[in-house]
Amino acid sequence: MGQLQEIEPQLTHWGYQIIAVSADKPEKLRESMERHSLHYLLLSDSKMSGAQAFGLAYRVNEKMLKEFQQEGVNLEEASGEEHHILPVPAVFILGQDGRIKLEYINPDHKMRLDPKILVAVTEIYAREG
């Protein structure tokens, strides 16, 4: 989330709006927004209905659940749900016509799109009009 906060001025300069969706419950998101002074729109999909509808959800297996717990991540506490479903990292850039111009989807939950690449791509699309 902090990486998005850092590049938000560049993206808004090019006419983009950031809308982020998290698996965390709304209360956790409010805490994050206050703690990190986030200005972009941050939505909760704690029930994972949106991620499932977009085909971006996966069920965490027992091995991964234990790894999360060892790292101090409690999925049930964060989402307020017991489904153990998470979204894969994904970024979509939409044009003014509502069509997807770029999508980045990575099944490795630890891999995120480099913010520098996101800025470069948005600049290219903004210049193209």
Q: At 25, phi and psi to the nearest 5?
A: -70, 160
Q: Which DSSP string do the residues of 64-127 spell out, in sequence order? A: HHHHHHHTT--HHHHHS-SS-EEEPPEEEEE-TTS-EEEEEE-SSTT----HHHHHHHHHHHHH
Which strand (E) or helix (H) includes residue 58? strand 57-59
* The pLDDT of residue 18 is above 80: yes
What CATH topology corresponds to 2-128?
A: Glutaredoxin (3.40.30)
70-111: per-residue pLDDT in tens? Answer: 999 999 999 999 999 999 999 999 988 889 999 999 998 888
pTM strictly above 0.95: no
40-78: per-residue pLDDT in tens? Answer: 999 999 999 999 999 999 999 999 999 999 999 999 999
The sign of the torsion formed by the CA atoms of 59, 113, 6, 55 equals negative
How high is the pLDDT of residue 129? 66
Query: Residues 52, 30: contact at Cβ < 8 Å?
Result: no
